[in-house]
Amino acid sequence: MADPAAAVPERPAHDDTRSLLLFGGVYGAVVASAMVAALTEYGHNSPGARRYDAAWLLVTAFASALAHGYSHYIAERGPHRRGEALRALAAEWPLVVAMLPTVLILAGAGWGWWSADGVEYPAFVFNIALLFALGLVSARWAGRRWAVVLATGVVDALFGLIVVVANAVIK
């Protein structure tokens, strides 16, 4: 009798890399927007507050990556090979990279590169644009038609827009 597992074709390694990149990018952009909304809720907009916000966003980026990588590691049942935990943690780099531009936007306001007042709005715009771009890329990699590609980008961008609207309603 044939092994049923042998009938399932193995996915190319680039599919896993692509899915990690897209997942981490989307997750990082949404978390960055949510953190900016939470950190600016009380209207603290001094340069010092923006540096503080940037530091907390950076801590959140690494904490999210560690928690997510660790959860993947422990979710795998069975024996683990040496170094597998570190590989699971390292695979979360797209999440951190997706959050770094928002860290830079906040830090730049804290360092006086631009106004600290209202800097959350350019951060939101950047993250919405990033979500749109990731939606486009994921749909193109999947070989979708251009109408579907654009619709996917818009739907992904809506995730970021929901965070912005929620922030406006909460304030």
**Which ranges of the chain does DSSP label H, i.e. alpha helix?**
13-39, 47-75, 84-90, 93-110, 120-141, 146-170
More confident residue, 40 or 134: 134
- Please give the pLDDT value at position 92: 87
Nearest to 159 by CA among 101, 107, 105, 98: 98
Out of 19-23, 26-30, 55-59, 164-168, least confident range: 164-168
Domain residue ranges in the chain = 14-72+79-170
Enumerate residues 6+ apart whose C-beta is below 8 A from 15: none
Helix (H, G, I), strand (E, B) or coil at 72: helix
Say whether pLDDT at 126 is over 90.
Answer: yes
57-77 mean pLDDT? 86
Average pLDDT over residues 103-127: 93
Rounded CA separation 36/159 (Å):
15
pLDDT at position 95 is 92
Task: Quickly state the pLDDT bin for 78 (edges 50, 70, 90).
Answer: low
> CA-to-CA distance for 118 and 168, rounded, in angstroms?
13
**pTM of the predicted model, to two decimals?**
0.82
